[in-house]
Amino acid sequence: MLCEKIAVQLVSNLPTEEKRREEKKRKREKEETRREEKRREEKRREEKRKRRKKKKKKRGKRKKKKRKEKKKEKRRRDKVRREEKRKEEKRREEKRREEKRREEKRREEKEKQ
C-alpha cells in the first residue's frame, strides 16, 4: 500500500518535475541569449569607438596637413613679396643713378657754355 502511494506520488510528480526542468532550461537559454546580446552590444560599441577614434585621428592629420600647406603658401608668398620689393628697390636705385648722371651731364653742359 505504501509502495503504491509512493509510486502514485512519483508518477504524479513526473509532470511537475519535467515542467521544472523545462523552466530551468528556458531560464538558462534566456540567460545565454541575454549574455550573447550583451556581448554583441559591447562589440558594436567598441567598433563604434574605434571608428570614431580613427576618424578623429584622420581629422587631426588633415588639419596638420592643412596647416603645413598654409605655412608653405605663406612662405612662398613672402618670398615672392620680398623678391618684388628687392626688384622695386633695384629699379628705384637705377632711376636715382640715371637721374644723377643726367644731372651731371646738365652741369657739364652748363659749365661748357
The whole-number mean pLDDT for each consecutive block of 10 residues of the chain, a chain of 113 residues, reads: 66 74 93 97 97 91 94 97 97 95 89 77
Query: DSSP states of 45-85 as a string?
Result: HHHHHHHHHHHHHHHHHHHHHHHHHHHHHHHHHHHHHHHHH
Residue 78, pLDDT score:
97
Give this prediction's pTM: 0.46
Residue 94, pLDDT score:
96
Residue 40, pLDDT score:
97
